[in-house]
Amino acid sequence: MSDHLDPDAALMLRVKQGDRTAFEALVEKYKQPVMNVVYRTLRDATEAEDLAQHVFLQVYKSAHRYEVSAKFSTWIFTIARNLCLNEIRRRSRHPADSLDQTGPDDDQPIRQVEDRKSFSPPDALLQGELEQKIEAALAELPEKQRTALLLCREDELSYEEIADVLGCSLSATKSLIHRARETLKQLLKPYLRTGAWREAEK
Amino acid sequence: MNESTESQLRQTVWRRKLSPEEETRLQSLLSAHPEKQRDFEQETALTEQLRQLPDAPLPSNFSAQVMQALELELARQERAGQAGNGWLFWFRRFAPRLAPVTLALIVGAFGFQQYRSHHRTQAVRSVAAVFSNPYAASPEVFEDFEVIQHLPSVTDEELLAALQ
Protein backbone atom coordinates (compact mmCIF):
# COMPACT_ATOMS: atom_id res chain seq x y z
CA MET A 1 0.00 0.00 0.00
CA SER A 2 2.68 2.44 1.05
CA ASP A 3 4.56 1.57 -2.17
CA HIS A 4 1.80 3.30 -4.17
CA LEU A 5 1.47 6.19 -1.79
CA ASP A 6 1.55 9.66 -3.33
CA PRO A 7 4.91 11.18 -2.23
CA ASP A 8 3.14 14.24 -0.81
CA ALA A 9 0.75 12.02 1.14
CA ALA A 10 3.76 10.14 2.51
CA LEU A 11 5.23 13.45 3.64
CA MET A 12 1.90 14.37 5.24
CA LEU A 13 1.90 11.12 7.18
CA ARG A 14 5.26 12.16 8.59
CA VAL A 15 3.90 15.64 9.35
CA LYS A 16 1.08 13.93 11.26
CA GLN A 17 3.78 12.41 13.48
CA GLY A 18 5.16 15.91 14.06
CA ASP A 19 8.02 15.68 11.54
CA ARG A 20 8.88 19.29 10.72
CA THR A 21 11.42 18.36 8.05
CA ALA A 22 8.63 16.72 6.06
CA PHE A 23 6.51 19.82 6.58
CA GLU A 24 9.31 22.05 5.33
CA ALA A 25 9.62 19.88 2.21
CA LEU A 26 5.92 20.39 1.50
CA VAL A 27 6.24 24.15 2.05
CA GLU A 28 9.16 24.23 -0.35
CA LYS A 29 7.23 22.34 -3.02
CA TYR A 30 3.90 24.14 -2.76
CA LYS A 31 4.84 27.70 -1.77
CA GLN A 32 4.88 29.02 -5.34
CA PRO A 33 1.73 27.30 -6.65
CA VAL A 34 -0.19 28.36 -3.54
CA MET A 35 1.16 31.90 -3.73
CA ASN A 36 0.22 32.12 -7.43
CA VAL A 37 -3.41 31.29 -6.69
CA VAL A 38 -3.63 33.42 -3.54
CA TYR A 39 -1.93 36.44 -5.09
CA ARG A 40 -4.16 36.45 -8.16
CA THR A 41 -7.21 36.11 -5.94
CA LEU A 42 -6.37 38.86 -3.45
CA ARG A 43 -4.39 41.17 -5.76
CA ASP A 44 -2.19 42.36 -2.89
CA ALA A 45 1.33 41.01 -2.50
CA THR A 46 1.63 41.58 1.26
CA GLU A 47 -1.78 40.16 2.10
CA ALA A 48 -1.17 37.26 -0.25
CA GLU A 49 2.12 36.47 1.47
CA ASP A 50 0.49 36.55 4.91
CA LEU A 51 -2.38 34.41 3.75
CA ALA A 52 -0.08 31.90 2.05
CA GLN A 53 1.76 31.56 5.38
CA HIS A 54 -1.58 30.91 7.09
CA VAL A 55 -2.36 28.24 4.50
CA PHE A 56 0.76 26.31 5.51
CA LEU A 57 0.15 26.82 9.23
CA GLN A 58 -3.37 25.52 8.71
CA VAL A 59 -1.96 22.49 6.91
CA TYR A 60 0.24 21.72 9.91
CA LYS A 61 -2.52 22.30 12.45
CA SER A 62 -5.02 20.20 10.50
CA ALA A 63 -2.55 17.42 9.73
CA HIS A 64 -4.36 15.07 12.14
CA ARG A 65 -7.50 15.41 9.99
CA TYR A 66 -5.73 14.63 6.72
CA GLU A 67 -6.92 11.40 5.08
CA VAL A 68 -4.38 9.62 2.92
CA SER A 69 -7.15 8.87 0.41
CA ALA A 70 -7.26 12.58 -0.44
CA LYS A 71 -4.58 13.92 -2.74
CA PHE A 72 -2.45 16.44 -0.90
CA SER A 73 -2.52 19.05 -3.68
CA THR A 74 -6.34 18.97 -3.68
CA TRP A 75 -6.36 19.37 0.09
CA ILE A 76 -3.93 22.29 0.25
CA PHE A 77 -5.63 24.19 -2.59
CA THR A 78 -8.97 23.69 -0.84
CA ILE A 79 -7.51 25.22 2.32
CA ALA A 80 -6.02 28.07 0.27
CA ARG A 81 -9.33 28.78 -1.44
CA ASN A 82 -11.29 28.72 1.81
CA LEU A 83 -8.88 31.17 3.44
CA CYS A 84 -9.07 33.42 0.36
CA LEU A 85 -12.87 33.39 0.53
CA ASN A 86 -12.73 34.29 4.23
CA GLU A 87 -10.42 37.18 3.39
CA ILE A 88 -12.70 38.38 0.58
CA ARG A 89 -15.67 38.26 2.99
CA ARG A 90 -13.67 40.14 5.61
CA ARG A 91 -12.80 42.81 3.02
CA SER A 92 -16.43 43.18 2.03
CA ARG A 93 -17.32 43.77 5.70
CA HIS A 94 -14.41 46.21 6.19
CA PRO A 95 -13.87 47.82 2.77
CA ALA A 96 -11.52 50.49 4.20
CA ASP A 97 -8.95 47.80 4.98
CA SER A 98 -8.23 47.19 1.33
CA LEU A 99 -7.68 50.84 0.31
CA ASP A 100 -3.98 50.30 -0.17
CA GLN A 101 -4.66 47.43 -2.50
CA THR A 102 -2.95 47.64 -5.87
CA GLY A 103 -5.54 47.80 -8.58
CA PRO A 104 -5.14 46.66 -12.13
CA ASP A 105 -5.71 50.20 -13.45
CA ASP A 106 -2.98 51.79 -11.35
CA ASP A 107 -0.23 53.63 -13.16
CA GLN A 108 2.39 51.45 -11.56
CA PRO A 109 2.96 47.99 -12.96
CA ILE A 110 1.22 45.32 -10.89
CA ARG A 111 4.59 43.92 -9.79
CA GLN A 112 8.11 43.36 -10.92
CA VAL A 113 7.83 40.94 -13.76
CA GLU A 114 10.36 38.18 -13.87
CA ASP A 115 10.15 36.84 -17.40
CA ARG A 116 10.46 33.15 -17.94
CA LYS A 117 11.58 33.76 -21.49
CA SER A 118 14.06 36.35 -22.61
CA PHE A 119 12.54 38.83 -25.02
CA SER A 120 14.13 41.48 -27.13
CA PRO A 121 13.14 45.00 -25.90
CA PRO A 122 10.10 45.54 -28.21
CA ASP A 123 8.93 41.98 -27.60
CA ALA A 124 9.43 42.43 -23.88
CA LEU A 125 7.25 45.55 -23.99
CA LEU A 126 4.58 43.71 -25.91
CA GLN A 127 4.80 40.72 -23.61
CA GLY A 128 4.67 42.95 -20.52
CA GLU A 129 1.62 44.75 -21.85
CA LEU A 130 -0.07 41.47 -22.66
CA GLU A 131 0.64 40.15 -19.19
CA GLN A 132 -0.84 43.24 -17.61
CA LYS A 133 -3.93 42.91 -19.76
CA ILE A 134 -4.28 39.24 -18.85
CA GLU A 135 -3.84 40.01 -15.15
CA ALA A 136 -6.49 42.72 -15.41
CA ALA A 137 -8.82 40.40 -17.29
CA LEU A 138 -8.28 37.67 -14.68
CA ALA A 139 -9.12 40.15 -11.94
CA GLU A 140 -12.45 40.86 -13.58
CA LEU A 141 -13.55 37.24 -13.54
CA PRO A 142 -15.91 35.97 -10.84
CA GLU A 143 -13.98 34.24 -8.06
CA LYS A 144 -15.02 30.70 -8.95
CA GLN A 145 -14.21 31.08 -12.64
CA ARG A 146 -10.85 32.66 -11.86
CA THR A 147 -9.91 29.96 -9.34
CA ALA A 148 -10.95 27.25 -11.79
CA LEU A 149 -8.79 28.81 -14.49
CA LEU A 150 -5.80 29.29 -12.18
CA LEU A 151 -6.02 25.72 -10.90
CA CYS A 152 -6.22 24.58 -14.51
CA ARG A 153 -2.68 25.97 -14.90
CA GLU A 154 -1.44 23.61 -12.19
CA ASP A 155 -0.19 20.42 -13.82
CA GLU A 156 -0.66 18.59 -10.52
CA LEU A 157 -4.43 18.83 -10.65
CA SER A 158 -6.79 16.91 -12.90
CA TYR A 159 -10.21 18.30 -13.81
CA GLU A 160 -11.74 15.99 -11.19
CA GLU A 161 -9.43 17.37 -8.53
CA ILE A 162 -10.16 20.96 -9.54
CA ALA A 163 -13.85 20.08 -9.14
CA ASP A 164 -13.08 18.76 -5.63
CA VAL A 165 -11.32 21.99 -4.67
CA LEU A 166 -14.21 24.09 -5.97
CA GLY A 167 -16.80 21.80 -4.43
CA CYS A 168 -18.76 21.34 -7.64
CA SER A 169 -19.34 18.68 -10.26
CA LEU A 170 -16.92 17.86 -13.06
CA SER A 171 -19.23 19.24 -15.74
CA ALA A 172 -19.81 22.43 -13.74
CA THR A 173 -16.06 22.85 -13.39
CA LYS A 174 -15.48 22.47 -17.12
CA SER A 175 -18.27 24.93 -17.72
CA LEU A 176 -16.62 27.43 -15.32
CA ILE A 177 -13.31 27.11 -17.16
CA HIS A 178 -15.01 27.45 -20.54
CA ARG A 179 -16.87 30.61 -19.46
CA ALA A 180 -13.72 32.10 -17.93
CA ARG A 181 -11.78 31.50 -21.13
CA GLU A 182 -14.57 32.94 -23.26
CA THR A 183 -14.54 36.09 -21.11
CA LEU A 184 -10.76 36.36 -21.41
CA LYS A 185 -10.90 35.93 -25.17
CA GLN A 186 -13.57 38.60 -25.30
CA LEU A 187 -11.62 41.04 -23.11
CA LEU A 188 -8.40 40.43 -25.01
CA LYS A 189 -9.99 40.56 -28.43
CA PRO A 190 -7.99 43.60 -29.67
CA TYR A 191 -4.76 41.72 -29.05
CA LEU A 192 -6.10 38.69 -30.83
CA ARG A 193 -7.11 40.78 -33.83
CA THR A 194 -3.74 42.48 -34.13
CA GLY A 195 -2.00 39.15 -33.85
CA ALA A 196 -0.14 40.29 -30.75
CA TRP A 197 -0.46 36.79 -29.39
CA ARG A 198 1.56 35.39 -32.19
CA GLU A 199 4.09 38.24 -32.07
CA ALA A 200 4.63 37.70 -28.39
CA GLU A 201 4.88 33.97 -28.81
CA LYS A 202 7.66 34.22 -31.38
CA MET B 1 -15.01 13.23 -35.89
CA ASN B 2 -17.78 13.84 -33.39
CA GLU B 3 -18.49 16.54 -30.83
CA SER B 4 -16.96 14.49 -28.06
CA THR B 5 -13.61 14.38 -29.90
CA GLU B 6 -13.72 18.12 -30.39
CA SER B 7 -14.58 18.64 -26.74
CA GLN B 8 -11.77 16.31 -25.68
CA LEU B 9 -9.26 18.13 -27.87
CA ARG B 10 -10.46 21.48 -26.60
CA GLN B 11 -10.07 20.42 -22.96
CA THR B 12 -6.58 19.20 -23.73
CA VAL B 13 -5.70 22.47 -25.43
CA TRP B 14 -6.84 24.28 -22.28
CA ARG B 15 -4.03 22.63 -20.35
CA ARG B 16 -1.09 21.84 -22.62
CA LYS B 17 0.30 21.58 -26.12
CA LEU B 18 -1.17 18.78 -28.16
CA SER B 19 0.84 15.66 -28.85
CA PRO B 20 1.60 14.89 -32.54
CA GLU B 21 -1.18 12.31 -32.55
CA GLU B 22 -3.66 14.78 -31.06
CA GLU B 23 -2.46 17.42 -33.52
CA THR B 24 -3.28 15.08 -36.40
CA ARG B 25 -6.77 14.53 -35.01
CA LEU B 26 -7.23 18.29 -34.68
CA GLN B 27 -6.10 18.91 -38.26
CA SER B 28 -8.54 16.28 -39.41
CA LEU B 29 -11.30 18.03 -37.47
CA LEU B 30 -10.36 21.44 -38.82
CA SER B 31 -10.26 20.24 -42.42
CA ALA B 32 -13.88 19.18 -42.02
CA HIS B 33 -14.80 22.36 -40.08
CA PRO B 34 -12.51 25.21 -41.18
CA GLU B 35 -14.71 27.71 -39.27
CA LYS B 36 -13.27 26.29 -36.04
CA GLN B 37 -9.71 27.06 -37.06
CA ARG B 38 -9.59 30.56 -35.57
CA ASP B 39 -11.28 29.44 -32.36
CA PHE B 40 -8.71 26.69 -31.76
CA GLU B 41 -5.90 29.11 -32.56
CA GLN B 42 -7.21 31.49 -29.93
CA GLU B 43 -7.62 28.69 -27.38
CA THR B 44 -4.02 27.57 -27.98
CA ALA B 45 -2.71 31.12 -27.74
CA LEU B 46 -4.64 31.83 -24.54
CA THR B 47 -3.34 28.66 -22.89
CA GLU B 48 0.18 29.58 -23.85
CA GLN B 49 -0.19 33.11 -22.49
CA LEU B 50 -1.70 31.88 -19.24
CA ARG B 51 1.20 29.46 -18.82
CA GLN B 52 3.66 32.27 -19.48
CA LEU B 53 2.26 34.47 -16.73
CA PRO B 54 5.11 35.07 -14.31
CA ASP B 55 5.01 33.56 -10.84
CA ALA B 56 3.65 35.71 -8.04
CA PRO B 57 6.34 37.53 -6.04
CA LEU B 58 7.58 35.39 -3.18
CA PRO B 59 10.33 36.34 -0.72
CA SER B 60 13.33 34.05 -0.77
CA ASN B 61 12.97 33.40 2.97
CA PHE B 62 9.30 32.44 2.75
CA SER B 63 9.87 28.88 3.98
CA ALA B 64 11.93 30.16 6.91
CA GLN B 65 9.15 32.62 7.76
CA VAL B 66 6.57 29.83 7.73
CA MET B 67 8.74 27.66 9.99
CA GLN B 68 9.27 30.58 12.36
CA ALA B 69 5.54 31.33 12.44
CA LEU B 70 4.93 27.65 13.15
CA GLU B 71 7.38 27.66 16.08
CA LEU B 72 5.66 30.73 17.53
CA GLU B 73 2.22 29.21 17.06
CA LEU B 74 3.23 25.93 18.70
CA ALA B 75 4.85 27.77 21.62
CA ARG B 76 1.70 29.86 22.07
CA GLN B 77 -0.49 26.76 21.99
CA GLU B 78 1.77 25.05 24.51
CA ARG B 79 1.56 28.00 26.91
CA ALA B 80 -2.21 28.20 26.52
CA GLY B 81 -2.44 24.45 26.98
CA GLN B 82 -0.37 24.52 30.15
CA ALA B 83 -2.48 27.27 31.69
CA GLY B 84 -5.74 25.69 30.65
CA ASN B 85 -4.70 22.21 31.66
CA GLY B 86 -3.48 23.20 35.16
CA TRP B 87 -6.85 22.67 36.82
CA LEU B 88 -7.60 19.70 34.64
CA PHE B 89 -4.31 18.09 35.67
CA TRP B 90 -5.02 18.46 39.40
CA PHE B 91 -8.58 17.29 39.00
CA ARG B 92 -7.52 14.18 37.09
CA ARG B 93 -4.84 13.42 39.64
CA PHE B 94 -6.93 13.83 42.79
CA ALA B 95 -10.40 12.92 41.59
CA PRO B 96 -9.99 9.17 42.34
CA ARG B 97 -8.80 9.95 45.88
CA LEU B 98 -11.39 12.63 46.51
CA ALA B 99 -14.33 10.55 45.32
CA PRO B 100 -14.74 8.33 48.47
CA VAL B 101 -14.21 11.32 50.76
CA THR B 102 -16.79 13.32 48.84
CA LEU B 103 -19.23 10.40 48.99
CA ALA B 104 -18.69 10.04 52.76
CA LEU B 105 -19.27 13.77 53.24
CA ILE B 106 -22.48 13.65 51.24
CA VAL B 107 -23.78 10.60 53.13
CA GLY B 108 -22.77 12.23 56.46
CA ALA B 109 -24.50 15.50 55.62
CA PHE B 110 -27.63 13.63 54.54
CA GLY B 111 -27.61 11.56 57.75
CA PHE B 112 -27.13 14.63 59.91
CA GLN B 113 -29.97 16.37 58.11
CA GLN B 114 -32.21 13.36 58.70
CA TYR B 115 -31.21 13.21 62.40
CA ARG B 116 -31.99 16.93 62.89
CA SER B 117 -35.27 16.59 61.08
CA HIS B 118 -36.24 13.59 63.25
CA HIS B 119 -35.17 15.39 66.45
CA ARG B 120 -37.25 18.45 65.58
CA THR B 121 -40.26 16.30 64.82
CA GLN B 122 -39.92 14.60 68.21
CA ALA B 123 -39.64 17.96 70.00
CA VAL B 124 -42.71 19.30 68.21
CA ARG B 125 -44.61 16.15 69.14
CA SER B 126 -43.59 16.50 72.82
CA VAL B 127 -44.65 20.12 72.95
CA ALA B 128 -47.90 19.23 71.24
CA ALA B 129 -48.46 16.41 73.76
CA VAL B 130 -47.92 18.75 76.70
CA PHE B 131 -50.27 21.36 75.37
CA SER B 132 -52.88 18.77 74.41
CA ASN B 133 -53.06 17.68 78.11
CA PRO B 134 -56.05 19.49 79.71
CA TYR B 135 -54.11 19.93 82.96
CA ALA B 136 -51.20 21.50 81.24
CA ALA B 137 -53.25 24.49 80.32
CA SER B 138 -53.99 25.21 83.97
CA PRO B 139 -51.49 27.38 85.93
CA GLU B 140 -52.35 25.51 89.14
CA VAL B 141 -50.60 22.47 87.84
CA PHE B 142 -47.30 24.38 87.98
CA GLU B 143 -48.01 25.96 91.37
CA ASP B 144 -45.59 23.77 93.32
CA PHE B 145 -43.18 23.21 90.43
CA GLU B 146 -40.21 24.95 92.08
CA VAL B 147 -40.73 23.03 95.38
CA ILE B 148 -41.04 19.71 93.67
CA GLN B 149 -37.94 20.39 91.52
CA HIS B 150 -35.87 20.98 94.66
CA LEU B 151 -37.12 17.92 96.53
CA PRO B 152 -34.65 15.06 96.89
CA SER B 153 -35.46 12.26 94.51
CA VAL B 154 -38.81 10.78 95.33
CA THR B 155 -40.93 8.20 93.65
CA ASP B 156 -44.04 9.19 91.82
CA GLU B 157 -46.22 7.49 94.45
CA GLU B 158 -44.57 9.48 97.30
CA LEU B 159 -44.97 12.68 95.34
CA LEU B 160 -48.63 11.94 94.65
CA ALA B 161 -49.20 11.20 98.32
CA ALA B 162 -47.49 14.44 99.31
CA LEU B 163 -49.60 16.48 96.87
CA GLN B 164 -52.79 14.91 98.11
List of chain B residues whose C-beta atoms are within 8 Å of the C-beta of residue A147: none
The whole-angstrom separation of Cα B152 and Cα B154 is: 6
State yes or no: pLDDT of A119 exceeds 60.
no
Q: Per the confidence metrics, is the pTM higher than 0.80?
A: no
Instruction: Report which of A81, A102, A47 is spatially closest to residue A163, judged by C-alpha positions.
Output: A81
> End-to-end CA distance of chain B, in Å?
139
pLDDT band at B37 (very low <50, low <70, confident <90, very high): confident
Residue-wise pLDDT for A135-154, tens only, equals: 999 999 999 999 999 999 88
Gap from A92 CA to chain B (nearest CA, Å): 24
> CB–CB of A164/A145 below 8 Å?
no
* Cβ contact, residue pair B14, A181, below 8 Å: yes
pLDDT band at A111 (very low <50, low <70, confident <90, very high): very low
- The ipTM estimated for the assembled molecules is 0.77
Residue-wise pLDDT for B136-162, tens only, equals: 556 666 677 777 777 777 777 777 777
Residues 9 through 28 of chain A touching chain B, CB cutoff 8 Å = 20, 23-24, 27-28
Q: φ and ψ at A111, to 5 degrees? A: -165, 175
Q: Go through chain B and tell me how many residues it has.
A: 164
Winning range, highest mean pLDDT, from A121-135, A137-151, B81-95, B121-135: A137-151
Residues 58 through 97 of chain A touching chain B, CB cutoff 8 Å = 60-61
**What is the structure's pLDDT at A168?**
94
Please give the average per-residue pLDDT across B60-67, as a whole number: 94
